[in-house]
A and B are shown apart, each in its own frame.
Chain A
Amino acid sequence: MKANLLELQNITKTFGQLVAVDRVNFELQAGEIHAILGENGAGKSTLMNLIYGLYQPSGGSLHVSGESKVFASPRDAIANGIGMVHQHFMLIENLTVAENIALSLGQLDVESGRTWLEGKEEARREEVPPPHSSHLPGRQSFWFKKAEAVEITEALSQRFGLAVDARALVRTLSVGLKQRVEILKALAVDARMLILDEPTAVLSPQEVDGFFTILRKLQADGRAIIFISHKMKEVLNISDRITVLRRGKKVYVGKTGELTSRELAREMLGEEVAEVKRKESHATTDVVLQISGLTVQGSSGVSNPSHLAVADVSMETYRGEIVGIAGVDGNGQRELAEAIMGLRQLAAGKIEILGTAPRGTKEIRQRGVGYIPEDRQTMGVIASFSIAENLLLSVTRLVDVAKWGVIDGKTKQALSEHLVTEYDIRPPNAHMPAEALSGGNQQKVVLAREISPNPELLIAVNPTRGLDISAAHYVHQNLLAQRDRKKSVLLISTELDEVLQLSDRIYVMSRGKLIEATPHRDDITALGLLMTGENS
């Protein structure tokens, strides 16, 4: 029996009348990977924020290595060896990767990072590091040693196999690369307990394998990992134990393998999950979107040394089909989608929607194009706007609910109430600001807005990222319904399963190039190789 590194007893967190976490007991042992499963709003994030000191519990107690602790802030949690990789990145966009890492390394104190890298941590791990141990706030150097920060970052990324350009500005990195930096940041402070909130969402199958190798390495090192994921396969693959939360309560804890994925899903949802039902293809010969020779300049990053985010891409979509574009994050998908939406300048090539080339995003939307952007935080919703207002965030919608430029209050109200119910946005209060919603519910707001006008062409970039199983299922049904209505859908996703399940035709995007991959659709390995650009 291993000692409990971390133990929560009857931990409770209430927000007003809402009980987000209800008397949850949780144990984390040294050297285990403990997965936490649960739908959006099940209380996973709240529980993690309690452990990480972002929230203070309303009841119950928290013990680290048997000692009762109260964390007033994440600083206390970090001092007790707890690290966290958030779903929403906590990076300083205008600093380089190395500077961000250095920031987490005891506030620009690079010396301690160096010590750790040289393997002297053995001695330190003997006893429990006291708060304000050498790598934590307290020992600060006045000078920022940039070269050393770069060196440490490179050493870190090499050691953990998370390649990233230490000198690149964080804001120029893709979402996937930013997450790598987040993981490196947590690893850099030598956390003994690592909370990973949806860490694999942006990784390719190959990268996930590599990432799991890292996790196992960390595990063998005696570190404990709390792994939050919606992906059942991954959870079953990597974890030692699984805790399932449902509506704030712990409903199951047990060794991985005790329950099958179907049984686990039932624990999560409290009911059986339906499979996506897919009818035969209805593809017609009416072209909706035609792209020829499209080239888009990219912002600098690692994956594209040539700085061409999209390189000579030609493709088309027809009415009544879903075209899937699979690929690892940061291979030009975002730029492709933004170019189609008129948000990026074309370096070369042509984009035609329903036969003519529109000018500007407004005109594109007026042609009936819906857009689910990759980054909902900066492009999908406006945090301070209410749900009702966010549901209007599209020029065409705005015109729909207005008369003589005045927004009709009743139409707006009716529309938002209808969509909140229809898309099961929680909490069902259209006056709530979007920032008060969980990521999944924010995504539902975007989906409701973009899918409900029944667009001729829907550009969906990672539409189910951050959604739970039932919500993702709902999205999939909606995309298929669009197809069945003889509309066209362009699904750009890093989730291979999703692309395979929904698409009539499949492309793979790798380093800005597009490869038709429909013939390989039954061969995951071949697709994976295409995604890594192996045979291009």
Chain B
Amino acid sequence: MLDKDGKVEEKKKGGKELAGKKERGKDGKRSWASLLSTQPPIFQSAKLFDYLRWMAAPALILGSAFVTNGIIMLLCGYNPLEAYAAAIGGAFGTGRKFGETLVKSTPFLMTGLSVAIAFRCGIWNIGAEGQFLVGALGATWFGTKVAVLFPAQPWLAVPLCLGIAGFAGGIWGLLPAILKVTRGVNEVISTIMLNYVAIHLVSLMVDGGPLQEAAKRGPQSDRIAEWVFLPRLLPPHRIHLGIGIAVALAVVLTFILFRTTFGYQLRAVGESASAAEAAGISSVQNTLRVFFISGALAGLGGAIELTALARRLFLNFSPGYGYTAIAVALLAKLHPLVTVAAALLFGALTTGSYGMQREVGISDKVTLVMQATILLFVIGYSSVQFFRKRVS
């Protein structure tokens, strides 16, 4: 039993002075290190300067990526300034376009959150893609087979559908977790493999399988029941409730990560499993929990995409959201709130490419190049960070 008296005494004595003393980095190297820190200033004594410093790395990454991409466009004979202007116009030019950017950002945000939470716990979950698909699969099953049993009850059907999809994604996430904690299987390998299993599971289901449309015309499912549709907020715009759900989840996850004992334990395991174990924090338990949550987030993302937009499942349902999500999460330094901004950027790249295509005639493949360039700079930056940590 812990001594209650000791604790009370501390509370009384605490809160004396010395709080306000602003400490600069102890030396040049250290302030550099804090610049690299994955801990945002948001929950510390935040000053504008701290925010700017913390955002310096993402800004640097994006700046380099935009310049590099500009050079590539120049080499292809386009004017990059014109192209970027068209892209910005395409992504943010009108309310409608901005709305579409939000819509495109949502799957990046959901899968980005999934990756961020896992990486925070030191779990290299590359399986958001598969978890996304399994979530969509769960939603399709519910929407086409189960929801028809109790017609026109959206208040019940929609939450249930999302819940089932999240659960399915979570279970899919638990598979590599169980392999890891019982057999020591590296999760990077098992999650990548399970992505393929999920892709083929979808094709098994919709291409001749039980979920294929009744008409059997193509490899896709029937449309889900109308009362499972995720509401669109401003029809005819495609802006839907899922955007709000995703942003709310980002806020909730931020709170969980930095303000709760569960989030603390999760981060402790991620930073140093041995120190966490010595503190009595079980890394096995946290690995299982986080894998489930991570999978559930990605699965929910799949369900949102399905019930709000596509409304039926088909082959190649995800254009690789789960992989791009890794770049999104890393660019956001694994911070859920910042992931919102990073996801918005990736959404804007997609809608911006439409603008570039329309107005400057640049192929939408440029977007893929841009995404890849950002990813490369993120990885390059992370290795510099890793290297510097080793040296100091």
A residues contacting B by CB (< 8 A) are 15-18, 20, 55, 341, 343, 360-362, 364-368, 371, 373, 378-386, 389, 392-396, 398-400, 402, 405-407, 409, 411, 413-422, 427-433, 435-436, 452-456
Note all chain A residues with C-beta closer than 8 A to B16.
Answer: 417-418, 421
A362 CA to B281 CA in the complex, in Å? 7
| Contact call A380/B44, Cβ cutoff below 8 A | no
| Contact call A419/B264, Cβ cutoff below 8 A | no
Say whether, besides A400-B7, A432-B23, A414 and B278 are in contact (CB < 8 Å): no
| Contact call B37/A433, Cβ cutoff below 8 A | yes
Note all chain A residues with C-beta closer than 8 A to B26.
Answer: 15-16, 18, 427, 432, 436
- Taking CB atoms and an 8 Å cut-off, the chain B residues in 79-125 that contact chain A are none
Type the 1/0 row for B1-20, where 1 means its CB is closer than 8 Å to any CB of A. 11101110011011110110
| Contact call B268/A382, Cβ cutoff below 8 A | yes
- Taking CB atoms and an 8 Å cut-off, the chain B residues in 258-281 that contact chain A are 259-262, 264-265, 267-268, 271-272, 274-281
Note all chain A residues with C-beta closer than 8 A to B33.
Answer: 433, 435-436
| Contact call B11/A414, Cβ cutoff below 8 A | yes
| Contact call A414/B279, Cβ cutoff below 8 A | no
| Contact call B23/A427, Cβ cutoff below 8 A | yes
| Contact call B15/A413, Cβ cutoff below 8 A | yes
The 9 closest A-B pairs by CB, nearest first: A414-B14, A15-B27, A418-B14, A395-B280, A16-B24, A362-B280, A454-B3, A429-B23, A365-B280
Q: Which of A16, A361, A386, A402 contacts B278 (CB 8 A)?
A: A361
Note all chain B residues with C-beta closer than 8 A to A341.
Answer: 278
**Sample (29) of A-B pairs whose CB atoms are under 8 Å apart:** A15-B24, A15-B27, A16-B27, A18-B24, A18-B26, A341-B278, A367-B1, A380-B275, A380-B278, A384-B37, A385-B39, A385-B271, A386-B44, A394-B279, A395-B281, A400-B2, A402-B260, A406-B261, A407-B259, A407-B260, A411-B11, A413-B15, A413-B19, A414-B11, A427-B21, A435-B33, A436-B26, A436-B33, A453-B3
Q: Which of B2, B14, B271 contacts A383 (CB 8 A)?
A: B271
| Contact call A16/B271, Cβ cutoff below 8 A | no
A18 CA to B44 CA in the complex, in Å? 22
| Contact call A399/B261, Cβ cutoff below 8 A | yes
Note all chain A residues with C-beta closer than 8 A to B68.
Answer: none
Say whether, besides A15-B27, A419-B10, A384 and B282 are in contact (CB < 8 Å): no
A381 CA to B19 CA in the complex, in Å? 22
A432 CA to B262 CA in the complex, in Å? 22
In the complex, whether B30 has a CB less than 8 A from a CB of chain A is: yes
In the complex, whether B31 has a CB less than 8 A from a CB of chain A is: yes
| Contact call B11/A20, Cβ cutoff below 8 A | no
A30 CA to B64 CA in the complex, in Å? 51
A405 CA to B264 CA in the complex, in Å? 10
| Contact call B277/A343, Cβ cutoff below 8 A | yes
Note all chain B residues with C-beta closer than 8 A to A380.
Answer: 275, 278
Note all chain A residues with C-beta closer than 8 A to B259.
Answer: 406-407, 409
A504 CA to B97 CA in the complex, in Å? 77
Q: Which of A384, A386, A414, A455 contacts B38 (CB 8 A)?
A: A384
In the complex, whether B77 has a CB less than 8 A from a CB of chain A is: no
In the complex, whether B25 has a CB less than 8 A from a CB of chain A is: yes
A379 CA to B283 CA in the complex, in Å? 13
| Contact call A389/B27, Cβ cutoff below 8 A | no
| Contact call B279/A393, Cβ cutoff below 8 A | yes
Note all chain B residues with C-beta closer than 8 A to A456.
Answer: 1
Q: Which of A379, A411, A453 contacts B275 (CB 8 A)?
A: A379
A253 CA to B3 CA in the complex, in Å? 48
Greatest chain A CB density within 10 A among B26, B264, B276 is at B26
| Contact call A378/B275, Cβ cutoff below 8 A | yes
Q: Which of B11, B23, B34, B280 contacts A394 (CB 8 A)?
A: B280
| Contact call A382/B272, Cβ cutoff below 8 A | yes
| Contact call B278/A398, Cβ cutoff below 8 A | no
Q: Which of B23, B38, B264, B279 contacts A407 (CB 8 A)?
A: B264
CB distance from B334 to the nearest CB of A (A): 12
Note all chain B residues with C-beta closer than 8 A to A393.
Answer: 268, 275-276, 279
Note all chain A residues with C-beta closer than 8 A to B7.
Answer: 400, 453
Note all chain A residues with C-beta closer than 8 A to B44.
Answer: 386, 431
Greatest chain A CB density within 10 A among B16, B34, B275 is at B275
Note all chain B residues with C-beta closer than 8 A to A433.
Answer: 33-34, 37, 39
CB distance from A247 to the nearest CB of B (A): 15
| Contact call B10/A378, Cβ cutoff below 8 A | no
| Contact call A414/B271, Cβ cutoff below 8 A | no
CB distance from B107 to the nearest CB of A (A): 30
The residue on A at minimum CB distance from B24 is A16
Note all chain A residues with C-beta closer than 8 A to B24.
Answer: 15-18
| Contact call B274/A396, Cβ cutoff below 8 A | no
Note all chain A residues with C-beta closer than 8 A to B11.
Answer: 411, 414-415
The residue on B at minimum CB distance from A364 is B280
| Contact call B6/A452, Cβ cutoff below 8 A | yes
Given A378-B274, A435-B30, list of 12 further CB < 8 A pairs? A16-B27, A20-B27, A361-B282, A379-B277, A380-B275, A381-B275, A385-B39, A406-B260, A407-B264, A431-B23, A454-B2, A454-B6
| Contact call B18/A362, Cβ cutoff below 8 A | no
Say whether, besides A379-B274, A452-B10, A385 and B18 are in contact (CB < 8 Å): no
- Taking CB atoms and an 8 Å cut-off, the chain B residues in 234-269 that contact chain A are 259-262, 264-265, 267-268
Note all chain B residues with C-beta closer than 8 A to A416.
Answer: 14
| Contact call B261/A407, Cβ cutoff below 8 A | yes
| Contact call B262/A405, Cβ cutoff below 8 A | yes
Say whether, besides A368-B1, A373-B278, A420 and B30 are in contact (CB < 8 Å): no
In the complex, whether B184 has a CB less than 8 A from a CB of chain A is: no
| Contact call A414/B15, Cβ cutoff below 8 A | yes
Q: Which of B18, B262, B278 contacts A428 (CB 8 A)?
A: B18
CB distance from B97 to the nearest CB of A (A): 40
| Contact call B261/A398, Cβ cutoff below 8 A | yes
Say whether, besides A368-B1, A396-B2, A411-B11, A386 and B18 are in contact (CB < 8 Å): no
Note all chain A residues with C-beta closer than 8 A to B13.
Answer: 418, 422
A499 CA to B357 CA in the complex, in Å? 77
| Contact call B271/A384, Cβ cutoff below 8 A | yes
Note all chain A residues with C-beta closer than 8 A to B182.
Answer: none
In the complex, whether B28 has a CB less than 8 A from a CB of chain A is: yes
A19 CA to B261 CA in the complex, in Å? 38
Greatest chain A CB density within 10 A among B1, B25, B38, B278 is at B278
| Contact call B6/A453, Cβ cutoff below 8 A | yes
The residue on B at minimum CB distance from A46 is B27
In the complex, whether B316 has a CB less than 8 A from a CB of chain A is: no
Type the 1/0 row for B266-304, where 1 means its CB is closer than 8 Å to any CB of A. 011001101111111110000000000000000000000
| Contact call B265/A398, Cβ cutoff below 8 A | yes
Say whether, besides A362-B282, A411-B11, A436 and B30 are in contact (CB < 8 Å): yes
A18 CA to B28 CA in the complex, in Å? 11
CB distance from B326 to the nearest CB of A (A): 21
A455 CA to B18 CA in the complex, in Å? 28
| Contact call B25/A402, Cβ cutoff below 8 A | no
| Contact call B31/A16, Cβ cutoff below 8 A | yes
A399 CA to B275 CA in the complex, in Å? 17
Say whether, besides A421-B16, A433-B37, A361 and B280 are in contact (CB < 8 Å): yes
CB distance from B289 to the nearest CB of A (A): 13
A343 CA to B44 CA in the complex, in Å? 33
CB distance from A16 to the nearest CB of B (A): 4
A433 CA to B30 CA in the complex, in Å? 10
CB distance from B253 to the nearest CB of A (A): 14
Say whether, besides A20-B27, A453-B2, A418 and B15 are in contact (CB < 8 Å): yes
Q: Which of B30, B39, B45, B274 contacts A384 (CB 8 A)?
A: B39
